[in-house]
Structure 1
């Protein structure tokens, strides 16, 4: 198995307890650069630094992904491999692309992720900016998806979003709390708990 583990925004004290545990338990740990290595070094000085270039050369990016997949896959096949990444592995990270490449050659490898403090929430703390109401996050491209918090009527909200071209929906209710539920597609309840988040994605994204 390969687990993408979020290492937080860069402060070693902002690693989660779960991240530290997985780093210690893993049969092998990989990181995409020196900053990530410095964060995992107290727990895994044997972590392997891989090359993930910051470039727009898609051919070179693909070449590096293939090479990295070849180094990670044997460890993920035989045990628990951890890929530690700055921030959160599901927010603007290379982990999803890496998993896609590994899956092409090693479909038997399973993947999962463990969250880390993302730059989005860390920014609000460092800048002392309280965030309330809706806000827009972008990497420079147009919005492909939307996230709604405190969703009390998810089925009705999804129906409204379909008129705007959204077709993929995921509702997480009571995340990391007792009674956690995950609903996908059209299998959304009429009402949900206060602690609910709905993810919606356009079909053309």
Structure 2
């Protein structure tokens, strides 16, 4: 098992309690740089990996393959953690790393654990109160939407399909004991106020 673990925006006090527990429980911990290393070091001595900040796809691929060879033996036999700044599902290298590992070690399972993302940390640091819809981009045009408080998900998805959206995931009461996850045609007629829906064209 390999877990992509969010370490937050860089302040050690913004590590989650779950992150600290998983760092202590892991058979091996890997990080992509010095900042992540210093966040993790009070709990575990991690293996620091090279993930270059470059647009050279050949070099990126080579580094991903080298890092995969280091992580895979631990993840195959036990519980490996890859600690990453922010959240592992937002603009991170974790999904690319998983794809490379899966090519040679298809039996390894993957999951992510959330961290405080730069998106939410920015609002606090900048003193910005966001009470309406907004878009986040890395400069590219996005075919993805995230909708909060979706009370009629089936009806909403039907309307969005007319706009070209094809893939839907609804998470209801996330991380509560009664959390439910629905996909595509499983979407219910009504959902809890604490629901978030993902839609992609």
Match of 1:109? Answer: 108
With the length of structure 2 as denominator, give the TM-score of the two structures: 0.99
2:53 is aligned with 1:60: no
Match of 2:186? Answer: 187
In structure 2, C-alpha distance between the alignment counterparts of 1:52 and 1:41, rounded to whole Å: 19
Q: How does 1:141-160 map to 2 (within 5 A)?
A: 141-160=140-159
Of 85-94 and 178-187, deviating more is 178-187
In structure 2, C-alpha distance between the alignment counterparts of 1:137 and 1:90, rounded to whole Å: 13
2:138 is aligned with 1:139: yes
In structure 1, C-alpha distance between the alignment counterparts of 2:21 and 2:105, rounded to whole Å: 26
Match of 2:163? Answer: 164
Match of 1:23? Answer: 23
In structure 2, C-alpha distance between the alignment counterparts of 1:33 and 1:102, rounded to whole Å: 19
Match of 2:2? Answer: 2
1:78 to partner: Cα distance: 1.1
> Which consecutive unaligned segments of at least 5 residues does structure 2 have?
none
Match of 1:36? Answer: 36
4+ residue segments displaced more than 6 Å: none
Match of 2:71? Answer: 72
Of 173-182 and 154-163, deviating more is 173-182
Please give the per-residue CA displacement for 1:30-54, whole angstroms capped at 9, x wherever unaligned: 0000000000000012x11101111
SS at match of 2:82: strand
Aligned length: 201
1:144 to partner: Cα distance: 2.2
1:113 to partner: Cα distance: 0.6
1:178 to partner: Cα distance: 3.1
In structure 1, C-alpha distance between the alignment counterparts of 2:97 and 2:168, rounded to whole Å: 24
In structure 2, C-alpha distance between the alignment counterparts of 1:23 and 1:90, rounded to whole Å: 18
Please give the per-residue CA displacement for 1:51-104, whole angstroms capped at 9, x wherever unaligned: 111100001100100010000000001111000000000000000000000001
1:185 to partner: Cα distance: 1.2
1:139 to partner: Cα distance: 0.5
SS at match of 2:175: coil
In structure 2, C-alpha distance between the alignment counterparts of 1:150 and 1:29, rounded to whole Å: 36
